[in-house]
Each structure stands twice: as structure tokens, then as C-alpha cells.
Amino acid sequence: MNPVARTVLQRLGLGLVTLFIVSIIIFSAIAMLPGDFAKAMLGQSATPETVAAFQREIGIDRPPVERYFVWVGQMLHGDFGSSFASRTGYRRTVAEIIAPRLYNTMFLASMTALIAVPLALGLGILAALYRNGWFDRLVNAVTLTTISFPEFFVAYMLAYLVISRDTFIGSEFAQSLPHWLAVSLNWILNAVPKFPTLSNVNDQTPFWDHVWRVALPAITLTLVIVAHMMRMTRAAIINMLASPYIDMARLKGMSPMAIVLRHALPNAWAPIVTVVAFNLAYLVVGVVVVEVVFVYPGIGQLMVDAVKSRDVPVVQACALIFAATYILLNLTADIISIATNPRLLHPR
Amino acid sequence: MKNSAPGLREKGKDLLQIRNLHVEGFSDERWHPIVRGVDLALKRGEVLGLIGESGAGKSTIGLAAMGYAKPGCRITQGSILFDGIDLLALSETGRRRLRGSRIAYVAQSAAASFNPAHRLLDQTVETVVAHGIASREKANRSAVDLYRRLQLPDPETIGFRYPHQVSGGQLQRAMTAMAMACRPDLIVFDEPTTALDVTTQVEVLASIRNIVEEFNTAAIYVTHDLAVVAQMADRIMVLRHGLTVEEADTRQMLASPSQEYTKTLWAVRKLAKPEVPADDYLLTIDKVTAAYGRAVQVLQDVSIKVPRGRTVAVVGESGSGKSTLARVVTGLLPPLSGSISFAGQALSKTLKTRPKEILRRIQMIYQMPDNALNPRQTVEEVIARPLEFYLGLKGAQRDRRIGELMHMVEMSETYLDRLPAELSGGQKQRVCIARALAADPELIICDEITSALDQIVQEEILKLLMRLQRELGMSYIFITHDIATVRAIADEIVVMHQGKVVEQGLKSEILTPPHAPYTERLLSSVPEMDPDWLTRLLASRRM
């Protein structure tokens, strides 16, 4: 078999094994959590009989091992189970709870990725090209600054900026400034588009309206993840620039831009995509703070709510989705690393 | 280049004129001179050989001819006139336009200098297209033509391969094709065959010579190998410490070098040790077969005997299994079959199952002392480690032994607190030898230990090893591809080819005819100082 196809299949198999192990960990961790959902739901005054009946109804009276296999078995059939919030005659499946939230999260993540990845690569390439020059220093300083602030701070600052657009000129602060300065600041603020500071969407929201509404969270997340990817791009390219074949390209009279793009970059993909994958995974699993700030109905908030109400099936499903995201993105990164290595792609 | 019928080639007016060139390199927080006022002139179609030890500044001068200084170097003084253009007064963009198109470069290691991510053809025509000399299709056709002229196999299709898919010799020729792509006026060859086996080297030298002759290209040929430069250059310039020692026509220079330093360079290759026949065998390798993974067998039925207190030289080209043999003996690579006995006892196959005492008695020295020494350990720590590990020496006893070992390898004890980076290549190799000696071994495996060193340093190291053998009586397995080294040090020779032993015996038996066919090919490929050697060899092989 083609060695690349073999490696990819191998990694895929390993990914599935990892996912299986993660499912065990998730299940046992949640099974070991203190507290009882039935008691929490029915209140202090519930009789033991009522509690037992309720436990039977939602199936948590069985031994954990059996419950685990039922859970996994159902998932293999595409059934993620029912939420504990279901009532008799009114079944709420985990899938129907998660689906819209997952869509929103993926929407925000994709939009951020579409902005952040090209931006980070472009800045990284330019920083490598003009390494140690003023452009390099500036980009490094700015991206390091944005990554150093907590994300809620960045989020609120952006929201504040958008609000100031209308309120600045009448504020006391503006009054205290010299007139020309206040006017020009106002002029700059007015150049900021009037992004919505609340990203409330539902399943009826039209596509482009959705894009518009998640603009601020997407920008916030971009500011948070761009530094890491950009610095890795820069470092990976500069690392390559020390290779003998780069010297050769210089002696062939290639321009610095051609050297970076054609000679260094193709050999630098492996470390870059690893970091990109890591940051994209973060966009899916780590954005709950930004969701809260902009009141965006994503999966992060859903999971927090589910933990609060001890809705175990939803928590488990969310955790599993997060794990799968990590595994899948890292797998993709591995495959891209392999696919950009001519030694593996074109064996002797 | 050198022509069998001199005078046929038209030598034009001056193409390159370098005057009073000064180049400095930055290290240890300050600028050091590398080239200190060198003058050089080159006519159209002429080949100038630059020769000297490492650090003589020969590569730096070669690069300066392109108006280029390596990162960390700078041209501080002098003028470089290329075809009437002052390269130093030119803008960087202007110089870039000349590089690749009118002045081209062929690097030492083609394997490292080809970009692994692109096909050979794309890299060959890159300059032509980038400098706007011809269209992509025309350049492709011309590249195929060059591949053919350079005798590359399958010239039509070899360009579609990636660098890792062709052999070292082929890569070096492809790099020559790449340099030729724009039909430059001048090519700088920077040790183009140093990394190749002798058998491959002959073919590459012949290809380079033919094509440079065909297009009447001027060339600067940088090398440390006198015999090679004798074949290639019309004129030779000897350099030392960034200064010109002397300069003359090739034949004149070979016949009667005028400077003392040049004479020492000439003398190095004449070192030869009288062989001593074996009386007792220390190591017996019996029908050993080994492979990496499930791939093709790297060693097939190899049987070798190593006499006590003698040197067995294992020669062969790269891929012949020489280094694998060393890995099998040291236990790093367990053989698939066969047995090894050491001092009368069977050696267990894997490293883990060998007792410490056996490990102590077999030591190894590597080709690249840079990689073999921990850059964070001082010389003292490097040598102390085996003393503590194998012999359990401590305190004053250990320190005294370290002093003795330093004395044995002819190094002053003032070096003890230095880090490897603060030593020269030869000194690093001496430290490696001292480390091997520290274990008080009976067998030392030397894997190409002199091939990364200059000839003069090589000679010193070889003399040192021979003296140590006389005094301490250990055996050496000396792995090398260099026949001059074999002449210098061996008692017995093992010739290997494609994982098999072709011939083995006393040095005198192997080196005097009649030879096995492969040995014949190997020996005849070793360049000789005679400037007509290559022409004669090619003529005789064609018959």
C-alpha cells in the first residue's frame, strides 16, 4: 500500500482508539461526581420511593459498566441519549439540544479561522521576511500585547469601542480634551463599523445577519489566537532560512520573497499546521468566556449550564465532542505534515 | 578545463579581477579576519583551483567572486570586478541579477543544497525563468539537454524526481546542470566532489570537466584535494590563513612547488606504515547477516577476522555496509544470523545483554566529533565519564588518569575546562580518542574518523593512532573510503561492496595486482597527482 495512505489509516485508527479511551475517562469522571441528579431534581422532601422510581425512569439505577456500554452502544447507532430534562411524553434528545449550539460554535470558529489563519500566516511570513526590522518588532509587540490580555478584557474593550462611537463626543472625557483632538478621535471612532455588541442569534437568523452578529466575538478570538500562530510561522520559516538550500537559492539570485515563499515555507508546514490545529481546537472548546460576554448561544455555555443542572448526558456528549475535535484537528495536522513531506509522499 | 590537447581552447581577456580582498567573520563577539588581502584574476574559459586547509578562506573567496558574503561575514576591503562591473559598488538587486544568470555556484553537499520540497527540474530551471532568460518550456528542454550532456541516466524523466530519489553523484551532476542552466560566464565549484565516493567522484569530475570545456565557462574550483584539483584546474592558487601562499600553472605547481607550506601539503599523502602479519585473533565475525527493519539486507554473510594489536581497514563506498558492520560489532544492531566472538568468547548479539566489562573492551570513535561530544560537557567531564563508569576511579586517582590520557593524545591539560565548541576539529577528535582510551579497550572501531579533517590534521591523527597502538597494543577496525588513509595505517584490508566482503587479506596482497574486479575499480578511481590521470583513466575505461 502507498505509505502515505497507510500512515493516514494508522493515525485514523489511533485516533479512534484515543476517542474510545477518552469516552471511558469522561464516563467514569462523571460517574464519580458527587451529588445525585434525581435528588437534586426532586428536592429535599422527596421520599426514597419517588427518588428510586425517577432513577429507574432515567436509567441511572443500573451498574456503571452496564450504563457505559449502553451509552457507547447508543452512540454507535447515532443516538446520543435523552437529556435528563426530558419528561414523560416529552422527550428531549441530547442531539436536538446540542445541534443548534454546535452549529453556532462551529459558525463562530470557522469565521474566526477564516480571518485569523490567513492573517497569522501572512504576518508571520512578512515578519520572517523583514526579520529584526521595525515591521517584525511591531507585529510581535502588538500580537503579544493582545494575547497577554484576558479574553474577556479584550471582548469588553472592543464592545466599549463600538459603544464609544456614539457616546464619546458627548462624554466628559471628550469635553476635557482640546476640541481638535476630540473631533479627530470621534472621527476615528466613527470609522469603526457599528458591530452588534450582543450576538444573540437563533435558528431563524439569516446567514449574513449571523455573520454580522458574530463579528465582535470573531475579532476578539482572532486577537487572542493570532499571536501564537504568527510567531510559529515566523520561527519555522526563520529556522528553515539557515538551511544550505536557502543559501543556494540566494546564490541563484532569487529574491527574498521568492526564497521565503518558494524555498522556506514548503518545508515549514509541519510545525505551523500543528500550532494552527491547536488554536482551532481552542476555538471550539475554549470560548465559553467570549460566549458569555457577547451572550452567544454556543456549546460552551450549554455545557456550563448542563453541568450546573447535572444534565449528565448533555455534559458527556459535549465533552466527547470536544475530545473528538482535538483528535480530529490534530489528525488533520499530522496528515498535512505527511502530505507536505516529499520524502513520504514520493518514496524512492 | 584541462585539455588533453592544450592550446585548443580560446582563453579570452580577464573576466574576473579581485584585488586586495579582505573578508571578516563575526564570532565570539568580535570580527575576525578570514581573507586578508588576496588578489586573483581569471580569464574567460579558464579554471582556477583554490586549495588550502579549512579556514584558509578558499570558500569565502569563491563566494566573494559572486559578490556574496555568508551570513555573519562581511567584505571589508578590496574590489571585485566581474566583466567590468564592480560587484561591491552594485546594489543588492543588481548583484542578485548577476547571480545564477552570469555567475553560478555549485555547492559541496548537493543533498543539502537541493530544496527537498521541489522536483529537480523545477529547481534546475528556476534561475532561467526568474531571470527572464527563457520561457519555462524552452528552459525545460534545455535542462533535459544538460542532463544528457552530464550523462545523467534517463535525462528525459530524471528531472521529475525529488532530490531524495536520486543518488549523491547524480545530484551533484544535477546541481552542475542547475548552475549551467543560464549558461553563466563563471561557475564557482565549492568542493563539489568532497562528499562523494571515489568511484562516483571520477564520473562527476569527468562530467564537470566536459561541460565546462564545452561551453568555455570560466570556473573557480575550490577543494582541499590536490589530486582532484590537478585534474580540473589550469592554474592553482594555494591559500593559508586567508593569504595567498603561491600561484602557478598546474603542471608547474605540481612539478616544483616553491613554498615550504605547499611542499608539506604535497607530502601528506605519502604516509605509509609497514604491515605486520597477524599472530593471534581478537575478534572473529562469522557469517553475519544484518538488516534494518525488514528492508534489504545491509550485510550478507560477512566474515572478518581482526588480529590482536593490528589494524584492519574496512574500505568501500557509501552503502557498502561498513558502518553497519561497526553497529553490529558494538551491539547497536543485533544481526539476523551469524556469530561474533571476542577474545575467545561469543559476544551476545544485543547491547543490553552484554556485560559492562565487554562494553569497556570495545570502544568506538565517530566521524563527526561535533556530534559525538556533548556540547555542554567540558573536556574533563567527557574523559572522566568512562573512568568513573567502567573503572570506578574517583578523586585524585581519576584526575591523575585524565592528565595521563591528555598527555597520550598530545594535548595540554589547560584544555580540560574547555567546551567542545572552543576546540578545533582535530582537537575534538583527540578528545574522542582520549575518551575511548579511558576505558582501556582492546578494540577501537574508528568510523571514518579522519574524513572530516584537513589533510595535515589527518596525518597527525593517524600518526597518533599508530603510536598509541604500538604503545598500548589494541586493535583497530578502521572504517574508511580513503585509500591514502588505508595505505597509511592498515595491516590488513577488507574490501566491501553492497554488503558483501569482496576481498580480504594483508595490505600488500590487496594493494598489489591482480585485484578482484571491484577492488580494481575502487583503486583505479583514487585520484593521482598526475594532471593527466583522469584523461588516461577515462580513455582506458572506454576501451
Note which residues in 266-285 of chain A have CB less than 8 A from chain B. Answer: 266-267
A264: DSSP letter:
I
B255 within some domain: yes
Q: Tell whether B53 and B185 lie within a shared domain.
A: yes
Using CB atoms, pick whichever of B68, B113, B117 lies closest to residue A266.
B117
Using CB atoms, pick whichever of A244, A255, A346 lies closest to residue B162.
A346
Task: Tell me the C-alpha to C-alpha distance, in Å, between residue B529 and each of B230, B265, B455, B493.
Answer: 6, 12, 15, 23
Task: Tell me the C-alpha to C-alpha distance, in Å, between residue B209 and each of A329, B3, B13, B213, B221.
Answer: 53, 9, 21, 6, 11
Distance between CA atoms of residues B222 and B61, nearest Å: 9
* 3-class secondary structure, B413: helix
Q: Tell whether B48 and B173 lie within a shared domain.
A: yes
pLDDT score of A88: 65
Element of type H or E holding B312: strand B311-315
Long-range own/partner contacts, residues B209-215 (CB < 8 A, 24 or more apart): B209/B1, B209/B2, B209/B534, B210/B149, B211/B146, B211/B149, B211/B150, B211/B176, B211/B180, B212/B1, B212/B47, B212/B187, B213/B1, B213/B3, B213/B9, B214/B149, B215/B180, B215/B183
State whether A342 and B116 contact (CB < 8 Å).
yes
Residue of B nearest to A255 (CA): B96
Using CB atoms, pick whichever of B63, B70, B126 lies closest to residue A252.
B126
- Contact assessment for residue B481 and residue B315, using Cβ atoms and an 8 Å cutoff: yes
B21 within some domain: yes
Full residue range of the structural domain in which residue B471 is found:
281-374+429-512
Most confident of the following: A64-68, B11-15, B135-139: B135-139
State whether A247 and B99 contact (CB < 8 Å).
no
Using CB atoms, pick whichever of B98, B109, B165 lies closest to residue A346.
B165
Note which residues in 68-107 of chain A have CB less than 8 A from chain B. Answer: none
Q: Tell whether B39 and B137 lie within a shared domain.
A: yes
- Contact assessment for residue A298 and residue A291, using Cβ atoms and an 8 Å cutoff: yes
* 3-class secondary structure, B341: strand
C-alpha cell at B135: 520561457
How far does CA A314 lie from the centroid of its chain? 19
Q: Per-residue pLDDT averaged across B459-476, rounded?
A: 91
- Contact assessment for residue B36 and residue B242, using Cβ atoms and an 8 Å cutoff: yes
Q: Tell whether B256 and B289 lie within a shared domain.
A: no
- Contact assessment for residue A139 and residue A226, using Cβ atoms and an 8 Å cutoff: no
Q: Per-residue pLDDT averaged across A175-184, rounded?
A: 85
Chain A residues touching B96 at Cβ < 8 A: 253-255
pLDDT score of A169: 77
State whether B112 and A343 contact (CB < 8 Å).
no
pLDDT tier for residue A105 given thresholds of 50, 70 and 90:
very high
pLDDT score of B3: 43
Task: Tell me the C-alpha to C-alpha distance, in Å, between residue A187 and each of A157, A165, A174, A190.
Answer: 18, 9, 12, 5
B58-62, B146-150, B192-196, B504-508: segment of lowest average pLDDT: B192-196
Count of H-run helices and E-run strands, chain B: 21, 20
pLDDT score of B268: 59
Q: Rounded to a whole number, what is the distance in Å from the CA of A347 to chain B's nearest CA? A: 7
Instruction: Report percent pLDDT > 70 for chain B.
Output: 97
Q: At what angle do helices B198-214 and B517-524 cross, to 10 degrees?
A: 50
Q: Tell whether B142 and B244 lie within a shared domain.
A: yes
* CATH code, B326: 3.40.50.300
Chain B residues touching A340 at Cβ < 8 A: 117
Most confident of the following: A27-41, A235-249, A302-316, B508-522: A235-249
State whether A248 and B107 contact (CB < 8 Å).
yes
Chain B residues touching A255 at Cβ < 8 A: 96, 130
pLDDT score of B451: 80
Using CB atoms, pick whichever of A252, A258, A267 lies closest to residue B116.
A267
Residue of A nearest to B122 (CA): A262
Q: Tell whether B286 and B247 lie within a shared domain.
A: no
Q: Beta B311-315 vs B492-497: how paired, if at all?
A: parallel
State whether B117 and A267 contact (CB < 8 Å).
yes
Dihedral sign computed on CA atoms, order A282, A284, A285, A290: positive
Q: Is B167 exposed, middle or buried (0-12, 13-18, 19+ CB in 10 A)?
A: middle
B69 within some domain: yes
pLDDT score of B369: 86
CB pairs under 8 A between A and B: 77
A79-88, A191-200, B67-76, B476-485: segment of lowest average pLDDT: A79-88
- Listing DSSP states for A6-61 in one string gives HHHHHHHHHHHHHHHHHHHHHHHHHHT-SS-HHHHHH-TT--HHHHHHHHHHHTTT
Q: Tell whether B295 and B320 lie within a shared domain.
A: yes
A311-325, B2-16, B172-186, B331-345: segment of lowest average pLDDT: B2-16
Q: Tell whether B356 and B496 lie within a shared domain.
A: yes
pLDDT for residue B296 is more than 80: no
Q: Cell numbers 527537498 label which residue?
A: B116
B389 within some domain: no
Using CB atoms, pick whichever of B104, B114, B161 lies closest to residue A245.
B114
Q: Tell whether B247 and B345 lie within a shared domain.
A: no
Element of type H or E holding A334: helix A312-339
B424 within some domain: no
- Contact assessment for residue A228 and residue A279, using Cβ atoms and an 8 Å cutoff: yes
Distance between CA atoms of residues B466 and B454, nearest Å: 18
Count of H-run helices and E-run strands, chain A: 18, 0
- Contact assessment for residue B158 and residue B152, using Cβ atoms and an 8 Å cutoff: yes
Buried b (16+ CB within 10 A) or exposed e, A98-133: bebbbbbbebbbebbbebbbebbbebbbbbbbeeee
pLDDT score of B6: 40
Most confident of the following: A258-272, B51-65, B443-457: A258-272
Q: How many CB atoms lie within 10 A of CB B334?
A: 14
Alpha helices in A244-311, H assignment, sequence order: 244-251, 256-258, 265-285, 288-293, 299-308
Q: Per-residue pLDDT averaged across B444-461, rounded?
A: 85
Distance between CA atoms of residues B471 and B309, nearest Å: 10
Q: Cell numbers 459535549 label which residue?
A: A318
Residue of A nearest to B68 (CA): A251
Please tell me which residue, A62 or B88, carries the higher pLDDT value: B88
Distance between CA atoms of residues B278 and B284, nearest Å: 13
Q: Per-residue pLDDT averaged across B278-305, rounded?
A: 86
Q: Per-residue pLDDT averaged across B312-338, rounded?
A: 89
B199 within some domain: yes
Q: Tell whether B328 and B258 lie within a shared domain.
A: no
By the CB < 8 Å criterion, does B109 face chain A?
Answer: yes
Length of chain B: 543
- Contact assessment for residue B75 and residue B22, using Cβ atoms and an 8 Å cutoff: yes
Q: Per-residue pLDDT averaged across A230-247, rounded?
A: 93
- Contact assessment for residue B125 and residue B181, using Cβ atoms and an 8 Å cutoff: yes
Element of type H or E holding B249: strand B243-249
Note which residues in 237-256 of chain A have CB less than 8 A from chain B. Answer: 243-245, 247-255
* 3-class secondary structure, B50: strand
Listed residues B230, B250, B270: the one ending a domain: B270
B379 within some domain: no
Instruction: Report percent pLDDT > 70 for chain A.
Output: 97
Tens digits of residue pLDDT in B347-366: 888 888 999 999 999 999 99
- Tell me if ipTM is over 0.85: no
Buried b (16+ CB within 10 A) or exposed e, A272-299: bbbbbbbbbbbbbbbbbbbbebbebbbb
B298 within some domain: yes
Q: Per-residue pLDDT averaged across B73-86, rounded?
A: 91
Distance between CA atoms of residues B356 and A132, nearest Å: 52
Q: What is the C-alpha end-to-end distance of chain B, expressed in Å?
A: 23
Torsion, Cα of B342, B347, B352, B357 (10° steps): -40
Q: Rounded to a whole number, what is the distance in Å from the CA of A254 to chain B's nearest CA? A: 7
- Contact assessment for residue B58 and residue B222, using Cβ atoms and an 8 Å cutoff: yes
Q: Tell whether B433 and B498 lie within a shared domain.
A: yes
Residue of B nearest to A247 (CA): B113
Chain A residues touching B130 at Cβ < 8 A: 252-255, 258
Q: Which of B180, B217, B211 is nearest to B16 (CA)?
A: B217
Q: Which of B371, B461, B448 is nearest to B410 (CA)?
A: B461
Q: Tell whether B64 and B177 lie within a shared domain.
A: yes
Note which residues in 478-537 of chain B have CB less than 8 A from chain A. Answer: none
Tens digits of residue pLDDT in A270-299: 999 999 999 999 999 888 899 999 999 999
Distance between CA atoms of residues A89 and A112, nearest Å: 40
State whether B96 and A253 contact (CB < 8 Å).
yes
The total number of structural domains that make up chain B:
2
State whether A253 and B101 contact (CB < 8 Å).
yes
pLDDT tier for residue B60 given thresholds of 50, 70 and 90:
very high
Considering just the CA atoms, what is the radius of gyration of chain B in Å?
25
Q: Which residues contact B272 (CB under 8 A, 6 or more apart)?
A: B487, B488
What residues pair up with A299 in beta bridges, in sequence order?
Answer: none
Q: Rounded to a whole number, what is the distance in Å from the CA of B29 to chain A's nearest CA? A: 19
pLDDT for residue B128 is more than 90: yes
C-alpha cell at B385: 565519564
Using CB atoms, pick whichever of A253, A262, A343 lies closest to residue B100.
A253
Q: Per-residue pLDDT averaged across A207-232, rounded?
A: 92
Sheet holding B337-342, edge to edge: B297-307, B281-291, B337-342, B345-346
pLDDT score of B2: 43
pLDDT score of A338: 84
State whether B130 and A253 contact (CB < 8 Å).
yes
pLDDT score of A82: 81
Using CB atoms, pick whichever of B101, B113, B162 lies closest to residue A248.
B113
Chain A residues touching B118 at Cβ < 8 A: 262, 266
Using CB atoms, pick whichever of B98, B130, B165 lies closest to residue A348.
B165
Chain B residues touching A132 at Cβ < 8 A: none
Using CB atoms, pick whichever of A243, A252, A263 lies closest to residue B127.
A252
pLDDT score of B12: 61
Buried b (16+ CB within 10 A) or exposed e, A235-251: bbbbebbebbbbbbbbb
pLDDT score of B79: 92
Is the peptide bond between B155 and the residue preceding it cis, with omega within 30 degrees of 0?
A: no
Residue of B nearest to A264 (CA): B115
State whether B68 and A251 contact (CB < 8 Å).
yes
pLDDT score of B7: 39
Listed residues B240, B270, B300: the one ending a domain: B270
Ramachandran assignment for B207, one of left (phi > 0), alpha (psi -120 to 50 degrees), beta (any other): alpha
State whether B115 and A263 contact (CB < 8 Å).
yes
Chain A residues touching B161 at Cβ < 8 A: 346
Q: What is the C-alpha end-to-end distance of chain A, expressed in Å?
A: 14
C-alpha cell at A325: 475535535
Note which residues in 142-201 of chain B have CB less than 8 A from chain A. Answer: 161-162, 164-165, 178
Chain A residues touching B124 at Cβ < 8 A: none
B287 phi and psi, to 5 degrees? 45, 55
Q: Write the secondary structure of B449-503 as one string of H (helix), E (strand) and C (coil).
A: CCCCCCHHHHHHHHHHHHHHHHHHCCEEEEEECCHHHHHHHCCEEEEEECCEEEE
What residues pair up with B364 in beta bridges, in sequence order?
Answer: B445
Note which residues in 415-444 of chain B have CB less than 8 A from chain A. Answer: none
State whether A267 and B109 contact (CB < 8 Å).
no
Q: Cell numbers 573567496 label which residue?
A: B61
Q: Which of B310, B243, B275, B240 is nearest to B54 (CA)?
A: B240
Question: Could you give the domains of chain A?
Answer: 100-307 (1.10.3720.10)
Chain A residues touching B126 at Cβ < 8 A: 252, 254
